[in-house]
Structure 1
Amino acid sequence: MQHHRPSRRRSAGAGRAVLAACAVLAVLSATGCGQDGRTGAATATTAAADRSGSASGNASAKDAFARLERGYGAHLGLYAVDTGTGREVTWNDKRRFSYNSTVKSFLAAAVLKKNGSDGMDRVLRYDRADVIENSPVSEKHVDTGMSLRALCDAAVRYSDNTAANVLFEDIGGPGRLGAFLKKELGDDITRTDRIEPFLSRWSPGERHDTSTPRQMASDLRDLVLDDTLPRAERRQLTTWLRTNTTGDTTIRAGVPKGWTVGDKTGTGSYFGARDDIAVIWPPGRKPLVMAILTYRDGAKDGKADDKLLADAAKAAVTALGTER
């Protein structure tokens, strides 16, 4: 191509009173029990928190996520927080999963941080040979190139793979994205090893191109709701997320109508891996932040099921007590 926390700065966790989650099981039809491939059992927790690190267990939420895992034959990782109350819901939130194309939201943030809003009209050129699968926008602009702004729009809103790779090259590669996350967000958990389509080629037990639900939600919260990015750049990233075209059947499908969702989805090449990370604005309330990372049991060519993510989001919203 050619071109012309976990590890947070703030800690996350518990504080004031434990909120009992209401009737999560009533909203779910799947059945079963959960699994966790690491030392220690999977847990689901809810808490009224000051983000200091601990949370109290809640049987209803735990049962709900366990039923989802068995009902869908899947492994589920989830972290959700109500930024108004500090209440958290977690399930395998410190376990590593592939993040797939959700990382494009962080890539766009790194580009915005590097160039500023005023520098986003710079045009980058790429060749026909650089165009890979799932590049619905960039494949139409080989002859003209695309501005940084247009490339970020394509990468976040359409999950355009070639656009992401052009942006990776411009910032200096996946390692530079990891350096951005560590320097700006204190994130030393997320691994950024490869470009598309290789970053989505993950099998259980591998560590490349992985993170945890808690860390992904923490990073997204910093980038969208805090002051890591200047105001104009933060507003631009938020607009891309809110107008994302790929998330109608995942987290958005699991929250009440009338709520605003800004999200970035991801799909893995293997084991039906499917992810979504989101900031959610319920009317008249402070935002929620949610990360859901999943993969399926069984065959390497297993298919993703978006309803798993929608049902998990619905359960998390119910457990947080924010469904009304």
Structure 2
Amino acid sequence: MFVVPRTPSPCRALVVGLFLALVVTGCGASPQVAPTITGTASSPGSTPAAAAPTTTPSPSPLPLDELEARYDARVGVHAVDTGTGAAVVWRDDERFAYASTIKALAAGALLDLVGVDGLGRQVPVEADDLVVFSPVTETRVGGTMTLAEVAEAAVTRSDNTAANLLLEALGGPAALDAALAALGDDVTVVSRTEPDLNEAARGDERDTTTPRALAEDLRAYALGDMLDDDERAVLTAWLTGTRTGDALVRARLPADWVVGDKSGTAGYGTRNDVAVVWPPGGAPIVVAVMSDRADRDAEHDDALVAEAAAAAVAALGRG
């Protein structure tokens, strides 16, 4: 195993060889404690910043190449301990279709755009709006939904019509792309709406991102200062209320850890999950796991995502 620093960023590490290395860097933000989830989310509160860590490779390499071989899949991981700045990376600069994980970022961008007060705005739901997999919006055709209801349906139920209404409220895919660019993300390419964004055709950069960019974007919205405290509280409530991720990042973590996530599924066996994880009494961990397979009609495997996430958290010394 070799560990080589990426250039020129001080916040990156390149892993060369068959195993994943844990790289400790000095780029962690002030940690935040776990929210109390009792019907409505409390905004995570600040705790003192951790002391600046030293740079050192992990003594326990992570065999994600073995997981790839076992599941006949490609997997990308970016996991960061926000208290120490330690990061676990594997293929974190490779592109994957983001699928429905983009709904979490769209919700964050909406909160940034309209604030909590703007979430009460009513939007019509027409029959012509409906696309495949819309368990919430299909019951509201002919009526209206608030932006809060639209975003909640998109994040917690992965409702595709709600996602399109959310994008429309932002000004379309290009507007979300610009919002992510404002975060410093020059990697993610937001191009299409549901369900076309799930095509995941090889070599097509539309509707793709990298594990690193996905994790950093969610961290900016859920833990950073892009949103006010009340806006982060709403986003946290949506993420922790997600019903589609039980078999993914949270599946192999301790039951008393709070997890807020957004899953995604697309062509070529794409299965993703991006999450903020709050261990009791510790700084949050941000995890992005993205996976796909070679064949267009391949099935995805939730267990691959769950195993990769658990291995990454364990490599951070937090398992």
What TM-score do you get using the length of structure 1 for normalisation?
0.84
Confirm whether residue 274 of structure 1 aligns to residue 274 of structure 2: no
The yes-or-no answer on 1:243 pairing with 2:241 is yes
Query: What is the aligned partner in structure 2 of residue 110 from structure 1?
Result: 109
Q: Paired residue for 1:317? A: 313
Equivalent-residue separation in structure 1 for 2:18 and 2:190 (angstroms)? 25
Residue 292 (structure 1) aligned to one of 276, 289, 301? 289
Residues 118, 288 of structure 1: CA spacing in aligned structure 2 closer, same or farther, 3 A cutoff?
same
Query: Residue 145 of structure 1 aligns with which residue?
Result: 144
* Contiguous gaps of at least 5 residues in structure 1: 1-5, 15-35
Q: Is the CA contact 2:19–2:64 (under 8 Å) kept in the aligned structure 1? A: no
> Any idea what the Cα deviations from partners look like across 1:254-302, whole Å, max 9, x if unmatched?
212211100000000x1110000000001111000000010023x3111
Query: In structure 2, do the counterparts of structure 1 residues 151 and 42 end up closer, same or farther at CA, with 3 Å as the change threshold?
Result: farther
In the aligned structure 2, how far is the partner of 1:294 from the partner of 1:187?
Answer: 21
Q: Runs of 5+ in structure 2 lacking a partner? A: 1-5, 29-53
Once the two structures are TM-superposed, the CA of residue 59 in structure 1 deviates from its matched residue by: 7.5
Q: CA deviation at 1:226?
A: 1.0
Q: For each residue in 1:130-175, what CA deviation from the matched residue of structure 2 results, as whole angstroms up to 9, or x when unmatched? A: 1011100000001212110000000000000001111111221100
1:50 aligns with 2:35: no
**CA positional deviation for 1:216:** 0.7
The answer (yes or no) to whether the contact 1:44–1:92 under 8 Å persists in 2 is no
Q: Given that residues 254 and 312 in structure 1 are in contact (C-alpha distance below 8 angstroms), is that contact kept between their aligned partners in structure 2?
A: no
Q: Aligned equivalents of 2:55 and 2:249: distance in 1?
A: 23
Identity of aligned residues (%): 43
- Equivalent pair of 1:45/1:56 in contact (CA under 8 Å): no
Contact 1:45/1:55, CA 8 A, preserved across alignment = no
Contact kept? 2:248, 2:273, Cα under 8 Å: yes
Q: Is the 8 A contact 1:13 1:55 kept in 2?
A: no
Name the CA distance, whole Å, in 2 between partners of 1:61 and 1:313.
Answer: 14
Q: Give the Cα–Cα distance (whole angstroms) in 2 for the partners of residues 41 and 94 of structure 1.
A: 16
Aligned residues: 286
Judging changes above 3 Å, is the alpha-carbon distance between structure 1 residues 66 and 283 closer, same or farther for their aligned structure 2 residues? same
Instruction: Write the mapping of 1:152-163 to structure 2, written as runs, cut at 5 A.
Output: 152-163=151-162
Query: What displacement does 1:43 show?
Result: 6.0
Alpha-carbon distance in 2 for matches of 1:205, 1:216? 19
* 1:120-199 superposed matches below 5 A: 120-183=119-182, 185-199=183-197
CA, structure 1 residues 61+204, in 2 after alignment: closer, same or farther (shift >3 Å)? farther
User: Which among 272, 283, 290 is matched to residue 280 of structure 2?
Assistant: 283
Letter in 1 for 2:24: A
Q: Deviation digits for residues 195-243 of structure 1, max 9, x if unmatched?
A: 0001111123221111110111111111111110111111100110011
What is the identity, as a one-letter code, of the residue corresponding to 1:287? P
Cα shift at 1:11: 6.3
- 8 A Cα contact 1:200 1:267, kept in partner: yes
Counterpart in the other structure of 1:220: 218
Distance 2:175 2:65 in 1: 37
Matches of 2:302 and 2:292 in 1, distance apart?
11
CA–CA distance in structure 1, aligned partners of residues 254 and 268 of structure 2: 29
Q: Distance in 2 between matches of 1:84 and 1:155?
A: 30
TM-score normalised to structure 2 length: 0.85
RMSD over equivalenced CA pairs, Å: 2.1
- Cα displacement (A) at 1:12: 2.8
Distance in 1, matches of 2:55 and 2:314, equals 17
* Equivalent residue letter for 2:285: L
CA distance in 2, matches of 1:41, 1:162: 43
Task: Classify 1:313/1:129 alpha carbon distance in 2 versus 1 (closer, same or farther; 3 Å).
Answer: same
2:287 partner SS: strand
Shift of 1:51: 2.4
Q: Aligned partners of 2:99 and 2:288: how far apart in 1?
A: 13
Q: Please, which moves more after superposition, 156-165 or 106-115?
A: 106-115
